[in-house]
Amino acid sequence: KRLNHPGGLQHQVMAMKASSEQIKQAATFIQASTIVIHGTEDPIFPLDHGQALAKSIAKAQLVIINGMGHNLNTHFYHPIIDCIKKVSREN
């Protein structure tokens, strides 16, 4: 069960802003083949965030899932699994 605290969202946003440069730098150290899966309907991180992340990882492949938002639900399990299988076969 998630904890619902009135200041929780504000604290999360502040933490994200404070660590954004560290996160950008960390991605450049990833050496493994990587799949960045991003939904077109993410209200928290728009599509350009997924695109920037994929560009910052040397061996990344961006997969865009139409209609998917920020939270994963069972409706998108099969497309994600198929994507992972396809990329695994290619590598």
Q: Give pLDDT tens digits for 45-81.
A: 899 999 999 998 988 999 999 999 998 889 999 999 9
Mean pLDDT score of the chain: 86
Is the per-residue pLDDT at 1 higher than 70?
no
What is the dihedral angle through the alpha carbons of 61, 66, 70, 71, rounded to the nearest 10 degrees? -110
User: What is the token pair recorded at 80?
Assistant: 């994600």
d(CA 18, CA 89): 38
Residues in the chain: 91
What 3-state class would DSSP assign to 11? helix
pLDDT at position 24: 73
C-alpha dihedral sign at 36, 40, 46, 48: positive
Query: Could you count the other beta carbons within 10 Å of the beta carbon of residue 42?
Result: 16
